[in-house]
Amino acid sequence: MDSNTMSASVITPSGLRDYCSLKQLDNCQLAVVFVPKQSGNHLVNIKQCKHHIMGSPFSMYVCDHEIGDSSKVRITGNGIKSAKTCMWNKFLIDTKNAGYGSLVISFDGPSKVLMVQKDNNDCTVSITYRTAKPGLYVINVKFAENQVPGTPYTINPK
């Protein structure tokens, strides 16, 4: 299948069109990627050259526990409490009980922050970061488009 001629869309249980994308997999298959925001039956439309492929639209049921809930995200580690300038600092984000959702981490402060995210393949993500200058930095964490309770964190690397 030629992914350049294909498109996908998702219709939510309330009848709204939701954002989705197509992702080319290693085995010459395509995946439809979207983050459900409500439970119920979703219709997934996949088209090639503006025509439905065989079987499209596909019906997919999303359960309540699969909806992303930022209040169930847990963040641990010394890197959210304190940090050292020009050294690697670390914290862990656990989304095991939070359903499906995108994770967005950002840093604001007096210098650019070098950040490395490592997906641990167990619904946790290790965040390692390094600041170039001392000063106050703010770490923002969002899950499923909502701020994780307890964030933002303020750190003051020396």
Query: Does residue 2 have a pLDDT over 80?
Result: no
CA angle (9, 14, 20) in 5-degree steps: 20
Residues 16 and 78 in one domain: no
Domain boundary among 35, 66, 97: 66
Q: For the purposes of burial, counting CB atoms within 10 Å of the CB of 7, is it exposed (0-12), middle (13-18) or buried (19 or more)? A: middle
Residues 17 and 80 in one domain: no
In which domain, by residue range, is 26 found?
A: 3-66
CATH label of the domain that carries residue 40: 2.60.40.10
User: Higher model confidence: residue 2 or residue 89?
Assistant: 89
Tens digits of residue pLDDT in 93-148: 999 999 988 899 999 999 999 999 999 999 999 999 999 999 999 999 999 989 99
Q: What is the pLDDT of residue 3?
A: 63
Question: 140: which strand partners?
Answer: 106
Query: Does residue 61 have a pLDDT over 70?
Result: yes
Q: What value does the mean pLDDT take over residues 61-76?
A: 94
Distance CA 50, CA 30 (A): 17
Q: What is the pLDDT of residue 33?
A: 86
Residues 6+ apart with CB under 8 A from 85: 131, 132, 133, 134, 157, 158
Backbone φ and ψ for 72, nearest 5 degrees, come out as -100, 5
Domain boundary among 66, 91, 118: 66
Q: What is the pLDDT of residue 10?
A: 95
Residues 31 and 74 in one domain: no
Q: What is the pTM assigned to this prediction?
A: 0.76
Greatest alpha-carbon span in the chain: 60
Tens digits of residue pLDDT in 13-58: 999 998 888 888 887 888 888 888 889 999 999 999 999 999 999 9
Q: What value does the mean pLDDT take over residues 5-11?
A: 91
Structural domain count of the chain: 2
| Residue 151 near residue 138, CB atoms below 8 Å | no
Residues 147 and 84 in one domain: yes
93, 91, 95: which is closest to 129 by C-alpha? 91
Q: What is the pLDDT of residue 37?
A: 86
Query: Does residue 1 have a pLDDT over 70?
Result: no
CA angle (98, 33, 146) in 5-degree steps: 35
Residues 94 and 24 in one domain: no
| Residue 141 near residue 127, CB atoms below 8 Å | no
Residues 109 and 57 in one domain: no
Domain boundary among 66, 87, 111: 66
Residues 119 and 49 in one domain: no
Please name the helix (run of DSSP H) or strand (run of DSSP E) that holds residue 94, with its range, or none: strand 89-94
Residues 25 and 101 in one domain: no
DSSP string covering 18-38: E--EEEE-TTS-EEEE----S
